[in-house]
Amino acid sequence: MHVFGLLGNPVEHSLSPPMHEAAYAECALDARYVTFEPTSETLSRAVDGAEALGVRGLNVTIPFKRQAYDLAEPDDLAAQIGAVNTLDFTGDAVTGHNTDAVGAVRALEHHDVSLAGTAVVVGAGGAGRAVAFGLADAGMHVEIANRTVETARELADEIPAASGHGLADLPHLIEDATVLVNCTSVGMDDRAQTIVPGDALHSDLAVLDAVYTPLDTRLLREADAAGATTVDGAWMLLFQGAEAFELWTGLSAPIGAMNGALRDRL
């Protein structure tokens, strides 16, 4: 039996186990997905122990993505982002990857969104950082808007063809954008909140909200009313998991089965 899992603290409400278990069942793999809840002080030992026990891969979630970066050999994209959310033990060395970045790109591509032109990324935290690098890597010009302007500008300085702004610039930025991604927690558990002015949204825009509780955030409702293409946060969660599954197993992820399990749990 192959064992995969998740490192985080806390992990009891994670949606990854049902999603990955559904993939194993669909592909008839003799595998299990388990969760581990180390502390910052014991994370390194947890990773060493998992490797020694033959665990083939681990996802990494809050608060360990930056710390895990130092415990593996990062691929090029993870090295740029400076954070790792997936560890792969199947090669000669432990390698680190950031599937959050790829998850956003694949979620948009799944909805036939062209990754050409300008993307506006709202938020410069961990998710915003990953998504900004991912969209830039896909060939988009990236505009980063954040509550603290200096943080947005510092992140933009690390990314080719990117610039940083305050939230007040959003209407102007969105006017010429083809993609908008909300990477803040605004709207989470409160359907009445949004950080993006509704009257700035337009029909030539694709809007991805990384928030997935609830799925129908105010941002997505207003984007839909404006005629924009909308992509809820569960798609990003799904495709970051699918990317990890494919990395570990070498198989194409059964997207339908994984999506069904994820949305059933949501």
The CATH number of the domain where 153 resides is what? 3.40.50.720
Q: Above 80 in pLDDT, residue 189?
A: no
Write the pLDDT tens digit of every residue in 218-227: 999 999 999 9
| Residue 131 shares a structural domain with residue 28 | no
- 3-class SS string, 117-133: CEEEEECCCHHHHHHHH
User: Do both 92 and 114 map to the same domain?
Assistant: no
Q: Judge whether 235 and 212 are in contact, CB under 8 Å.
A: no
If asked whether residues 26 and 112 sit together in one domain, one would say no
The confidence score (pLDDT) of residue 186 equals 84
196 & 79 share domain: no
Residue 154 has pLDDT above 80, yes or no: yes
Model confidence band, residue 35 (pLDDT cutoffs 50, 70, 90): very high
The pTM of this model reads: 0.94
Does one domain contain both 106 and 205? yes
Q: Tokens for 105, please give them.
A: 């790109």
State whether 199 and 111 are in the same domain: yes
pLDDT score recorded for residue 86: 97
Q: Residue 71 sits in which domain range?
A: 2-97+235-265
**DSSP per residue over 228-257, as a string?**
-EEE-HHHHHHHHHHHHHHHHHSSPP-HHH
Are residues 46 and 153 both part of a single domain?
no
pLDDT (average), residues 254-264: 98
Do 134 and 244 belong together in one domain? no
pLDDT for 49: 95
Q: Are residues 41 and 119 in the same domain?
A: no
Report the C-alpha gap between 103 and 87 in whole angstroms: 16
Q: Look at residue 40 in the predicted model and tell me its pLDDT.
A: 96
Q: 225-261 in b/e burial notation, b at 16+ Cβ within 10 A?
A: ebebbbbbbbbbbbbbbbbbbebbbeeebbbebbbeb
The pLDDT of residue 204 is above 90: yes
- What is the rounded average pLDDT of the residues 214-235? 96
Percent of residues, the chain, with pLDDT higher than 70: 100
Which of the four pLDDT bands, split at 50, 70 and 90, describes residue 23? very high
**Of the candidate ranges 173-182, 186-195, 239-248, the one whose mean pLDDT is the lowest:** 186-195
CATH code, domain carrying 36:
3.40.50.10860
CA 175 to chain centre: 25
Same domain, 131 and 226: yes
Please check whether residues 156 and 251 belong to one and the same domain: no
Catalytic positions, written as ranges: 65
| Direct distance between the N- and C-terminal alpha carbons of the chain, in angstroms, rounded to an integer | 28
Specify the number of domains making up the chain. Answer: 2
**H or E element, residue 86:** strand 86-88
Check whether residue 187 and residue 119 sit in a common domain: yes
Q: What is the pLDDT of residues 61-110, one digit of tens each?
A: 989 999 999 999 999 999 999 999 999 999 889 999 999 999 999 999 99
Q: What is the pLDDT of residue 187?
A: 78
